Every structure is written in structure tokens, then in C-alpha cells.
Amino acid sequence: MTAALPARAEDRRVTIVNNTGYTITNFYGSNTGADSWQEDILGKDLLPPGGSVVINFDDSSGYCMFDFRAVFEDGDEIIDQKIDVCTIGTFTYN
């Protein structure tokens, strides 16, 4: 006799680290199947140089692949595509 086991839930929590000299004012993470950027994950918070934040990217879509968009205080943006949030634990901006 065999028993069915529930599928293992993937851990989609990622620590975002800011090792730049600029504050991150906005941060977006959207699954690669989304047509647009989702809401600013930081909201009214900021991510200063040397700071970090843990973000849970579990949006109930089942996706592991996400695109990240960081907006800095000087107006610069960095977009990183196809980040596997199920396998990485930390993502660092340098």
C-alpha cells in the first residue's frame, strides 16, 4: 500500500541586500508570466546602503522565476530578469 504525499512547498523567501552607495527607494518583483510590474514591495520603506530585507515572493501563482526592478534615490534603475526565487536565498545589489 502506498500513500500520496503532498507536494513540497517551495520556499520563495529571498533576502535582498543593498551593497551599493545609494538607497533603494522602490523595489518590484513580478513573476515572469506577469504583464506588468506589481506594486512596490517596499511601500513607504527604504532600503539604505548596507541594509537588507527578506521578501516572500510566494504570490500563489506557482512561479519560481521572477523579474526584479530596483529604483535608486538618484533615479537609476536596475532590472534583473529570470531570478529563480525557489533556489536562491540572497540577492545582492553591488
pLDDT tens profile 48-91: 999 999 999 998 888 999 999 999 999 999 999 999 999 999 99
Which strands, in side-by-side order, build the sheet including 13-18?
Answer: 52-56, 13-18, 90-93
Strand partners, 29: 68
Whole-number CA gyration radius for the chain = 15
Closest CA to 25 of 12, 42, 8: 42
pLDDT tens profile 24-56: 999 999 999 899 998 999 999 999 999 999 999
pLDDT tens profile 2-13: 444 334 457 999
